[in-house]
Structure 1
């Protein structure tokens, strides 16, 4: 059914209603596990669920499959996101036609993100440059068949610094036929209340559904707010800084904050509908609903009933097994694999890119940027949103040497042998535990140096590697018989099974490859066509290899770097 009817009914009844957002995982097994998780979370009885749409239709098939499966298998009403950036009319026609054939009645019409820093970028189809173009087209072609939602930005759209103009754009989308507004994530409820009041003052009377994103981990939270340019109240940041080393406490704080915001918006602004961005995880969402007394606790998935040897598909363990954390180096089987780190990078408008990274014309110029980043003289690189973590201080000198040798690092960590979970540098997780790490390093290297490097790495049995290039050529010293998930970070805590939040494996490496090389393409787009900088960055993306190396003996912290620097 059209979800606008449910949204309006909740407002009429003045009762809190909720819905969930999901995204298509990057791996086949992750998608299969999300379908299982969706079945469990359907028991929480959301009013509807939504599924995101990849840039340029990159997740078209998966998004459609997830929506149609949720409807046919679990009886859930679905809201399919649809973006028009980099989508020609033919693609949009196909997406809408297939959505209707699948029985999907609800579309969240979005502009979507053009390539970041798009001064030299040209849309695929000038007919669809903004979300309002998509709203008008859907109404023109399908009349009232679809319920249409549009995005609202309580803090203003990142590409529209004039908030008054942004408000007028929102009114135009509603006047063009949008049925409701769904907000971008925020963490200051007062800002959202004030924005809702301004909407009403501007004659925007469509129902508003705030988007609520529980805080997953401290690091992923920092990435998200930087990527979306979201402001966070000083008290919230202070509270999180105090507990950032304890992942469990961060999650608990995130649940508490989400509950507070929902209650405040319900009481102060009369908002009754809330859309929870689950990040494909389930525990925080369930705890939020229980705290709001919207759903009874499920005894079947309480931690006390979890068997340490239960397989992942066991419902008793399934809620918990992939909670800390997920992303680029998480478990590729997880429904949440790749949630926030896969496609995020520091791509800037051209003027800012030149200020930050200059006008590189040689490979040595690029190498110097990587060295400056390691030394802390550069705040970010396209693959690295923030400055290096404190733990990298222990290997900073070696990293500089490696980068000067032409191995441009995008990720690394030192070996750790039983540091306290409260250690200011290496600690994480609950107190009273110990954490361990294998040294690993990930980098780009020129094609003419890859053969010699892999020969050197292959001489030490304690070292494993994966290597690939943009064309898909692949090399590894991990045999099919030995292929397994290689935990490179793990923690041992009182009363808990061993937690392995960071895993390196073939599936995750291959899934990350497209994004890693895609960032070279996005970087080159920051410079004028046919300029030396653009040609250089394009050539590097074409001929360089991405390599991930793990030293599996964490009691020898220097060996990996010795091998990397040997001749």
Structure 2
């Protein structure tokens, strides 16, 4: 991956479930800051394993160590160790004073100083390194053998993975990556493999499909960062379900992450709100402007915006970093549309699930051969009058628990501040029950500041100052309550029944 900060491009790549993202490094660290920024975002925000290039070009040892220490502190473990190209304007690589002469030196140094912390990748050249390729574009047999021997020395020094230079001739790669390397390492090839390869050796499509890729599924209802510091994280509050980047940014400073069961979320504390939580890609800002900046003459016009999003008529939402409706939302989207039209403006929801297969394309997570469960959940804004009416209607529904809070912190709830409620869990072979999503009152009080701020920062401010629509949104922000509502009866409950006749 080159020096691009296009979040839309990242999302398109992530959709294909890449094993890792490769991020280039400018000669002498000329793009060091950008490389480190992209690697950190890819690892922590986009949640894809990152591999950062590191070269010897114009890099003294201290500068190399500074780069390694920085990525280590960001939880990045993978490095592509390269000699590097000559600096711009030079024809040949020249070792600088206090630097390394080749990738082998760099591999030796990383292993010597950092032990097994880093996974080290090195470059392999199916057609030989450019330095040993002669004028006719082909390396001599001696040069090729020498290059292959050097590659083995890098592996012996501690490299874990070989990544190849670009090639177009698959026969060359097959000889390099399979026949030559297995011969060089004296690896015995089972006869069934050679027999399977022989009839398809000239068939490019068959070669590309020789190894069938494993179907990848999500480990949790949310995507966990590839950061090594978060490898044990397996539970989150539900409130940031549609704003995962914001949640990650506000918890980056934690020394440890909740695992097993949600503990005291007040320690460590969430990071403060900053401009970062309200930044958005240009394309998303344009879509929000197209879909949400319309004349608002009454609160009913606000209700209609929310309803249209729930019905799939709008693709953007100020309270979501995601694109359009999520698969499980579509299960209940018409019911959501109905309550939004009544003035219960939903920003988060999930349907009840009772033992759905874990590979379900709609609600599944955790891989195959398991079963997942969910309590029905709604999170919405509403006026104080509507909240009072809803609370009265909740009294006969003993399975319902709720929390409501205003922008100024007025708190109304039928749960205590320490009642943490698991609303998603899964059962898998040879594992304890996994409960990756909870409703946590302490986190809700943190989230409410962000949720209310979105009214102004992500919607009202899209209108000019003094615009009546902007004023209407600011009035809603200052007078509405944010409500979290759970139906704990995930077998027979009907969360939407409480909204009838309201």
TM-score interval, normalised by the smaller of the two chains? 0.5 to 0.7
Which residue does 2:463 correspond to in 1? 527
Change (3 A) 1:350 1:213: closer
Q: 1:322 aligns with which of 218, 230, 233?
A: 233
Write the distance in 2 (CA, Å) between the matches of 1:369 and 1:208.
38
Corresponding residue to 1:213 among 23, 40, 61: 40
Work out the CA distance in 1 between the residues paired with 2:333 and 2:33.
52
Q: Is the 8 A contact 2:353 2:375 kept in 1?
A: yes
RMSD of equivalent CA atoms: 4.1
Matched, 1:403 2:345: no
Question: What's 1:169 paired with?
Answer: none
Alpha-carbon separation, structure 2, partners of 1:492 and 1:338: 33
1:33 corresponds in structure 2 to none
Of 518, 523, 527, which aligns to 2:453? 518
Q: 1:189 and 1:269 mapped to 2: Cα distance?
A: 21
Specify whether residues 458 and 287 from structure 1 end up closer, same or farther in structure 2 by C-alpha distance, changes over 3 A only.
farther
8 Å Cα contact 1:468-1:546 kept in structure 2: yes
| Counterpart residue number, 2:305 | 369
- TM superposition shift of 1:215: 6.0
Q: 1:286 to 1:376 in 2, by over 3 A?
A: same
1:228-239 aligned at under 5 Å gives the runs none
Gaps of 5+ in 1: 1-152, 159-186, 222-250, 298-317
2:358 paired residue number: 421
Deviation at 1:323, TM superposition (A): 3.4
Give ranges in structure 2 of 5+ residues lacking alignment: 8-19, 81-106, 118-228, 242-257
Which deviations, in whole Å up to 9, do the C-alpha atoms of 1:383-418 show, x marking residues without a partner?
022211111122111111111111010000000011
Equivalences for residues 76-115 of structure 1 within 5 A: none
**Per-residue Cα deviation, 1:357-383 (whole angstroms, up to 9, x for no partner):** 123232111111111111111111110
1:346 to partner: Cα distance: 5.8
1:355 corresponds to: 290
Q: Is the counterpart of residue 551 in structure 1 residue 487 in structure 2?
A: yes
Contact 2:419–2:440 (8 Å) recurs in 1: yes
The 1-side partners of 2:347 and 2:441 are apart by: 18
Give the 3-state SS of the residue equivalent to 2:300 in structure 1. helix
**Structure 1 segment 106-125 matched on structure 2, within 5 A:** none
SS at 2:277's partner residue? coil
Tell me if structure 2 keeps the 8 A contact 1:446–1:545. yes
1:509 — aligned with what? Answer: 444
Q: Offset of 1:497 from its aligned partner?
A: 1.7
SS of match in other structure, 1:555? coil
Change (3 A) 1:265 1:404: same
Q: Does 1:485 align with 2:420?
A: yes
Matching of residue 542 in structure 1 with residue 473 in structure 2: no
- TM-score (ref. length: structure 2): 0.54
For residues 125-274 of structure 1, what are the structure 2 equivalents within 5 Å? 154-155=3-4, 189=22, 192-193=24-25, 196=26, 210-211=36-37, 212-213=39-40, 221=46, 254-255=48-49, 258=50, 261-262=51-52, 264-266=53-55, 272=64, 273-274=67-68
- Contact 1:418-1:435 within 8 A present in 2 as well: yes
Give the superposition deviation at 1:340.
Answer: 11
Structure 1 residue matching 2:422: 3-state secondary structure: strand
Q: Classify 1:208/1:285 alpha carbon distance in 2 versus 1 (closer, same or farther; 3 Å).
A: closer
2:255 aligned with 1:343, yes or no?
no
Displacement, 1:565? 2.5
Contact 2:3 2:35 in 1 (8 A): no
Contact 2:383 2:480 in 1 (8 A): yes
The Cα of 1:540 is off from its aligned counterpart by 0.7
Counterpart secondary structure, 2:306: helix
Cα separation, partners in 2 of 1:213 and 1:503, compared to 1, 3 Å: same
Q: Kindly tell me: are residues 352 and 512 of structure 1, through their superposed partners in 2, closer, same or farther at Cα, counting changes over 3 Å?
A: same
2:32 and 2:240 mapped to 1: Cα distance?
Answer: 38
Q: Deviations over 1:41-82 (max 9, x none)?
A: xxxxxxxxxxxxxxxxxxxxxxxxxxxxxxxxxxxxxxxxxx
Computing the radius of gyration from Cα coordinates, the structure with the larger value is 2
CA distance, structure 1, for counterparts of residue 356 and residue 434 of structure 2? 15
Per-residue displacement from partner, 1:256-286 (whole Å, max 9, x unpaired)?
xx2xx22x4447997831544978xxxx657
Per-residue deviation, 1:430: 2.9
d(CA) in 2 for partners of 1:463, 1:389: 24
Q: Secondary structure at the match of 1:528?
A: coil
Shift of 1:336: 9.1
Alignment partner, residue 23 of structure 1: none
Partner of 1:498: 433
Instruction: Look up the SS of the partner of 2:462 in the other structure.
Output: coil
Give the Cα–Cα distance (whole angstroms) in 1 for the partners of residues 4 and 232 of structure 2.
35
Query: What CA distance in whole angstroms lies between the structure 1 residues aligned with 2:366 and 2:266?
Result: 22
Give me the whole-angstrom Cα distance separating, in 1, the residues matched to 2:40 and 2:443: 25
Alignment counterpart, residue 458 of structure 1, candidates 388, 395, 405: 395
CA distance in 2, matches of 1:425, 1:340: 32
Contact 1:328 1:508 survives alignment (8 Å): no
Alignment check: 8 A CA contact 2:40 2:76 kept: no
The answer on whether the counterparts of 2:382 and 2:480 sit within 8 Å (CA) in structure 1 is yes
Aligned residues: 315
User: Counterparts of 1:214 and 1:208 in 2: how far apart (Å)?
Assistant: 11
Matched, 1:445 2:382: yes
